[in-house]
Amino acid sequence: SEFEPLSILTTFFSILENGSVQVGELLPCRICGRTFFPVALKKHGPICQKTATKKRKTFDSSRQRAEGTDIPTVKPLKPRPEPPKKPSNWRRKHEEFIATIRAAKGLGQALKEGGKLPPPPPPSYDPDYIQCPYCQRRFNENAADRHINFCKEQAARISNKGKFSTDTKGKSTSRTQVIIVVISTNK
Calculate the dihedral angle through the C-alpha atoms of 32, 33, 34, 37, rounding to the nearest 10 degrees.
110
Cα gap 123→106, rounded to integer Å: 17
- Domain spans in the chain, listed from the N-terminal domain onward: 10-53, 123-161
pTM: 0.31
Q: 10-residue block means of pLDDT along the chain (187 residues)?
A: 47 55 78 89 92 86 76 67 79 88 88 84 78 90 93 86 58 62 71
